[in-house]
Structure 1
Amino acid sequence: MKEKIKNEKTKLLSRTIITLSIIFFFICVADFFFSSKKMLLYPTLTALIFNLILLFNINKPVIEKLSFADMIILIVYFSFLCHYFSLDLFFVPVFCLLYLYTFFLFRDIQRIILFSLIVISITLLLFFFREKNNMLRSLGDSSVYIGYLRATATFAIGLLFYYIADFWLKNKSLAKESTHISKEKTDSVKLADIFESISRRDNSFMPLFLTVNPAFMNKVRERCPKINDTELEVCALIKLGLTTKEIAIATNSTYKAIESIKYRLRKKLDLESGINLMLFFNEL
């Protein structure tokens, strides 16, 4: 299960790196050909190169340190981009993405450092937001170029949100699966203990049985308030799949005595003779 979660984390990381690398490449191309000052070229090129380094080391032990360094570069890069690319609507989703990726991909001190950087970046952006200046436009870049950057950013934000949502849902599903498997293993161990206690014939199986089936006794008593403890014990053994002969051995009784108890149970529970008691108790 841990391996599956690790694979999902690697998948998220690789998809994100590939997407960012493609986006950064197109921003570099657009900035080189259409920007008057080429202001985004060098920072974007730096982010692109580091993402490519990350991509080529995706399955190596050094990936964790590289991912941490890459996230620092991305926080600084997006802080720069948001400020000079006119904050407006991109401010919230960009930093939500940075927060989510930091939360899911990092732990302990790395997460604290990255969260602190994000908070500092947001604080600085809020401080400078009052200027409301679009540096790109003031440098004479065309509205087509600025529109291209906005469209590219919108596409990237949507895709990266999809990746993190998909990762979260799959992780949630794997966590439920892991809990279910763990519960099945625990129940299996408890059942083994129950059958071991039955084989010892020391009357200690009932408390163990009730740990696996805590509501069983109450359900039977609701259906039949007059049932006694011996009959309840037989009900539990029937539910576990023991035959009349096996129940007689487990309870130090005779075959005829258990048959008599079964007959009384049918009467008290108002069951027809053709109804299988084990199926009845399992469905109760």
Structure 2
Amino acid sequence: MLHQILNYILNLHIDTDADHLKRLDGQRLNLFSFSIGVILIFNSFRDLWFGFENYFGVLFILGVTSLILFFFTKVRQNSLACLITIELCILVVFFFSSTSGFENGMSLYYFPLLTSPLFIFNTRKTVKHVIIIFATVFILFLISHYYDFRIFSIGKMGNLEFLKNQRLITFIMVFVALAIIGYFIMLKHFTVLELYQKLLRSEKIISDMRTKLNRKDDLDLENLVKLAINDDIAFIPKIKSSFPNLYANLMEINPNITSEEFKLCALLKLGFTTKDIAEYNHISVRTVQTKKSRMRKSFGISADTDLYKWIDTL
């Protein structure tokens, strides 16, 4: 049940035919906007419980806005709409942080608002949005500082015990928000790094394969390796068409060859290492080694025979 809900959140309005990086980026933004929306709405009802109707209204509106960005992907993908939303949040923080002095700790909310655009705006074209947001926070903070954070006033209502601990509660909430944003930024960094490493590895595999085959134009190795790295179901048909004699030769040796054994042979044919096969098929290195041992028995390959040299002879 939870897995289905998570998949729904991740893949809402995600184009399955989109580029792998764009798809991952969209999934992260889905989870980010949904998480922030839920947290804001939860905190709004907390403030309502303690009698802070004003805080409740503001946090609830911001939470609903975040969920709108989640459910309406076209709005979220509009960088101007995201910029306006963050600017509105900054104005809200500016108002509440300037009502009862710096000691209320509300100005701490500026920090997650400064961090969020670093995750949301990630292209050269949207760098200007980040600059606008940073400039807005800087200017508004200086204005609040000049007036000793006592520009506006609201009715004093709510739980007195909550008021005494407001700064601590604000710090905890900001800490949680920064932790969530930091998690998504790190996740994005690791994803990009992983894709870059895959690209470098695929280029080496392609280069080694071309040198070995001495073929430059008549074999679509780029697409073949890409399918293998992404563990795409189209890999098997593609390898059969690219190496038409491979499957037939393997069938002569072992007529009972399984699809898994053929896939392993195909990956070995392309020069994938044990580590490569484990990583791209999402299995452990030990599992790959076990598969190799079973394949040796299935095809009668001696232990001192190099599997890569053996597959190259077919």
Cα pair distance change 1:91/1:139, threshold 3 Å: closer
**1:177-212: CA deviation from partner (whole Å, max 9, x where unpaired):** 1122111110111112211349xxxxxxxxxxxxxx
Matches within 5 A, 1:156-235: 156-197=173-214
Matches within 5 A, 1:4-23: 4-23=24-43
Q: Which runs of 5+ in 2 are unaligned?
A: 1-19, 216-270, 272-304, 306-314
CA distance in 2, matches of 1:165, 1:9: 13
> What letter matches 2:210 in structure 1?
D
Tell me which of the two structures has the higher relative contact order, counting C-alpha pairs closer than 8 angstroms and 6 or more residues apart.
1
Larger radius of gyration: 1
RMSD over aligned Cα, in angstroms?
Answer: 3.9
CA distance in 1, matches of 2:192, 2:69: 28
Aligned-pair identity in percent equals 10
Task: Report the 3-state secondary structure (helix = DSSP H, G, I; strand = E; otherwise coil) of the residue aligned with 2:31.
Answer: helix
Query: Would you say the 8 A contact 1:27–1:149 is kept in 2?
Result: no
Task: Report the 3-state secondary structure (helix = DSSP H, G, I; strand = E; otherwise coil) of the residue aligned with 2:77.
Answer: helix
Within the candidate set 99, 116, 124, 2:114 is matched to: 99
Could you state the TM-score of these two structures normalised by the residue count of structure 1?
0.56
Query: Would you say the 8 A contact 2:32–2:184 is kept in 1?
Result: yes
Query: Would you say the 8 A contact 2:112–2:178 is kept in 1?
Result: yes
Q: Which runs of 5+ in 1 are unaligned?
A: 199-240, 242-275, 277-284
Query: Would you say the 8 A contact 2:44–2:55 is kept in 1?
Result: no
> What letter matches 1:9 in structure 2?
L
**1:141-162: CA deviation from partner (whole Å, max 9, x where unpaired):** 5642423543442232111111
Could you state the TM-score of these two structures normalised by the residue count of structure 2?
0.51
Q: How many residue pairs get matched?
A: 199
Deviation at 1:22, TM superposition (A): 1.6
CA distance in 2, matches of 1:127, 1:6: 37
1:127 alignment counterpart: 143
Q: Which runs of 4+ in 1 moved over 6 A?
A: 135-138
CA distance in 2, matches of 1:180, 1:110: 26
Deviation at 1:89, TM superposition (A): 8.2
2:84 alignment counterpart: 69
> What letter matches 2:197 in structure 1?
H
Cα pair distance change 1:56/1:151, threshold 3 Å: farther
**1:222-248: CA deviation from partner (whole Å, max 9, x where unpaired):** xxxxxxxxxxxxxxxxxxx9xxxxxxx
2:94 alignment counterpart: 79
